[in-house]
Amino acid sequence: MTKAIILFSGGLDSTVMLAMALDQGRDCYALSFDYGQRHRVELEAAKSITKHYNVPHHIITIDPSAFAGSSLVSDCAVPTNRTTTEIAESGVPNTYVPARNTLFLSYALGQAEIHAAEEIYFGANALDNLPYPDCRPEFVTAYQALINVSTKQAIEGSPPTLVAPLIHWNKTEIIRKGQALNTPLHLTLSCYQPFPFNEPCQVCDACKLREEAFTAL
């Protein structure tokens, strides 16, 4: 049985990705991060979903001093009420966290070696590609090339494969796949600022992308 480390936020994309990996018969190990994100409640969603699937779940705490300047980890305002097109065309938003996905993947790489996993799943999608540099196909390619030379697994001939199954999918396609796999989408949380009541704000980029995607079903 192929073992896979799943980068898992508790959001819609990584939940569908987890369902896909399980559907492919993977032995999954979900990895989440507590990095001082303002939508930290997503970790509760992550716990519910891994419990639903009975998948081991590891939350790694990241020193908040490692990140700064992003609206995801500070008090500055996240962009609101933008359409999918506006989000795609507006450049790198202030919700970008410096080197975040590089760091998440580096933790996943260590976990892959520790657990002898053959795959690492990374849930970047086609809509993330434009605004976020660390969600693009060339980033995935470069990270795989790094994996191939950086660990004991690699130099012993078995580098893990970085799998990014959503990289060319839009949100509607992801939701359709989730529905086909009977994924518990109601347990997922995508909002960047789910407060004061842990409910989606309906106006941040994550909420707008999700809303538009469901509307387009």
Name the residues that contact a second copy, by CB under 8 A: 58, 60-63, 65-69, 92, 96-103, 105-107, 109-111, 113-114, 133-134, 136, 138-139, 142-143, 145-146, 148-152, 154-155
- Whichever of 149 and 217 has its CB closer to a second copy, that residue is 149
- Whichever of 100 and 210 has its CB closer to a second copy, that residue is 100
Q: How far is the CB of 93 from a second copy (least distance, A)?
A: 10
The strand ranges marked E within 8-46 are 27-34
Q: How far is the CB of 50 from a second copy (least distance, A)?
A: 16
Q: How far is the CB of 202 from a second copy (least distance, A)?
A: 27
- Whichever of 61 and 215 has its CB closer to a second copy, that residue is 61
DSSP 152-198: HHHHTT-PPEEE-TTTT--HHHHHHHHHHTT--GGG----S--TTTS
- Whichever of 63 and 85 has its CB closer to a second copy, that residue is 63
Q: How far is the CB of 100 from a second copy (least distance, A)?
A: 7
Q: How far is the CB of 160 from a second copy (least distance, A)?
A: 11
Do 69 and 96 meet the contact criterion of CB atoms below 8 Å apart?
Answer: no
- Whichever of 110 and 184 has its CB closer to a second copy, that residue is 110
Nearest by Cα to 11 from 191, 178, 212: 191
- The helix (run of H) or strand (run of E) holding residue 5 is strand 3-7
Token code pair at residue 138: 């060339």
Q: Any bridge partners for residue 162, and if so which?
A: 120
Is the link from the previous residue into 64 a cis peptide, with omega within 30 of 0?
Answer: no
